[in-house]
Chain A
Amino acid sequence: MWKKQKYWNPVMETLSHDKIRDLQLRKFRKIFEWSYERSKFHRALYDKAGIRPHEIRSFEDIRRIPTVEKSMMRDIQRKDPFPYGDALCVPLDEVAEFRQTSGTTGQPVYQADTWQDWEWWSECWSYILWAQEYRPTDRVFLPFGYNVFVAFWAGHYAVERIGAEIVPGGVLDTQARILKIQELRCTAMMATPTYVLGMADTARRMGIDPASLGIRKITCAGEPGASIPTTKKRMQDAWGARVYDHAGATEIGAWCFECSAQSGGLHVNEAFFLVEIQDVETGEYIEEPGRRGKMIITALDRQAQPCIRFDSKDIIEWSNEPCPCGRTFRSITGGVVGRADDITKVKGVLLSPSAIEEVVRGIDGLGDEFEVIVDKDGDIDRITLKVEILKGREGERKQIEAKLKDQLRLKTNLGYILEFHDFGKLPRYDVKAKRFKDLRKH
């Protein structure tokens, strides 16, 4: 019976590594040729580098192909055809879906998809949901603003695709969403870690224990929190649910996912994506496990606006361990552990915002919200960390402060000015949080 099958695709997800690599190479050659033949941008880029489709015979050849960055997409989209520019590989009348990036790092990038691309998006998500044990008996609540951002749109259609039931919680406020989950006895939901914690907080203020609502699976995206153990634990404890991570992006697709084995890594969907890891300093390509670098990714089947060797700036590392789930898709340890453009030097030390989140969320007595501000005191870098102390725990402030200082020093090698605020005083976010502010002029 198909509903009892462990894998969405029992053949693809257990293929030998050699066969997966062979498939990736074949598919890469096709999408490269597709783009070269149809897009002015891609042809010019590859002609300039002196690379033609027939010359791609190995993964070494692929590494000679120039990467594409988000900033290049912004330039491309000033050209015709409006609004996508000359990276478009299909006639405009074949574009079925518009989405755009959130603009967190600058001017938003527009993304065109054909209907086939949109089917592909939800197919990618079907691998995710099935691996996280979503099944046709699930009633899945989606508390996100259904709008121009891709967010959980493809997750919505994947819920339909796998045969489960979707409850679109779009234009409802948080309280109404909680009541709807309660009323309909929903069993699963998808949201950013920030919103998962925020919803739990709102439920408690309504006098409802979020764990009593019956949500048993939560799939997160948009922020690294679901792969940060302390944040994951807070979410799981609050909801009494298993919390899963996955990673995706508007320009890329949903490219990796945590499976039900929850072994500390996220599987890359290697049937649909080619992931390369490059050393940020030397540019050397990293094949061995345990060494971090930035991800260069290709979506092997996306056609309208192809994603070929996209320099995502995501920092990842290959895992050493085979996953107990039996999938042969390789895993990345701890998910996306940072972004090349997020990791910043403070007082000469590399600082990742995720490391601070891991510390704050690991300390009992502190709320979920925090804010980090980096500025200068004269010529010296200064970091201020604002945290909230939970109601009823104010008397323990000295002990909490000492523990926080110790853990920050241990995990980040830096000293901080600590500001304690009453619970509820720091800003709350509905979607992607902006908790890290670097005010220095570089």
Chain B
Amino acid sequence: MSDKYDLKEMADKIASLKKTAEDLADLGEDFPALYRNTRRILAGIRMLELNISDIAE
């Protein structure tokens, strides 16, 4: 089943998404609406890592 999916490409995009979210969180140190919403997005990105990135290694 795993041959059907390009896990490497998915994992790369997830890593990129995570980097963007982390950078955005860094901009929100004094901006609760930005910081907290980005932290929640990062928790969601972690679920992508558990489902995809962990097995693309």
Q: Which A residues fall within an 8 A CB radius of B?
A: 9-12, 14-15, 19, 23, 26-27, 114-116, 118-120, 123, 271-272, 301
User: Interface of chain A, helix or strand or loop or mixed?
Assistant: helix
Assess whether B1 is in contact with A120, with CB atoms less than 8 Å apart.
no
Assess whether A15 is in contact with B2, with CB atoms less than 8 Å apart.
yes
**B residues 26-57 touching A (CB-CB < 8 Å):** 39-40, 42-44, 46-47, 50-52, 54-55, 57
What are 16 of the A-B contact pairs (CB < 8 Å)?
Answer: A10-B4, A11-B1, A11-B2, A11-B5, A11-B52, A11-B55, A14-B1, A115-B43, A116-B43, A116-B46, A118-B43, A119-B47, A120-B50, A271-B50, A272-B50, A301-B50
Minimal Cβ-Cβ distance residue in B for A10: B1
Report the Cα distance A271→B55, complex, angstroms: 10
Minimal Cβ-Cβ distance residue in A for B52: A11
Assess whether A15 is in contact with B47, with CB atoms less than 8 Å apart.
no
Report the Cα distance A260→B5, complex, angstroms: 24
B14 at the interface (CB under 8 A from A): no
**How many residues does chain B have at the interface if contact means C-beta atoms less than 8 Å apart?**
18
Report the Cα distance A15→B52, complex, angstroms: 12
Minimal Cβ-Cβ distance residue in A for B10: A11
With contacts A116-B43, A120-B47, A301-B50 taken as known, whether A12 is within 8 angstroms of B55 at the C-beta atoms is yes
Contacts of A14 in B (CB 8 A): 1-2
Contacts of B39 in A (CB 8 A): 115
B7 at the interface (CB under 8 A from A): yes
Contacts of A15 in B (CB 8 A): 2, 55
Report the Cα distance A11→B2, complex, angstroms: 5
Contacts of B5 in A (CB 8 A): 10-11
Minimal Cβ-Cβ distance residue in A for B50: A301
Contacts of B55 in A (CB 8 A): 11-12, 15, 19, 23
Q: Nearest-CB distance from A315 to chain B (Å)?
A: 29
Report the Cα distance A254→B43, complex, angstroms: 18
19 more CB-based (< 8 A) A-B contacts, given A10-B4, A23-B54, A116-B46: A10-B1, A10-B5, A11-B5, A11-B7, A11-B52, A11-B55, A12-B51, A12-B55, A14-B2, A15-B2, A26-B54, A26-B57, A27-B54, A115-B39, A116-B42, A118-B43, A119-B47, A123-B47, A272-B50
Report the Cα distance A232→B12, complex, angstroms: 45
Q: Nearest-CB distance from B29 to chain A (Å)?
A: 15
Contacts of A116 in B (CB 8 A): 42-43, 46
Assess whether A119 is in contact with B46, with CB atoms less than 8 Å apart.
yes
Q: Counting chain A CB atoms within 10 Å of each CB, which of B1, B7, B39 scores highest?
A: B1
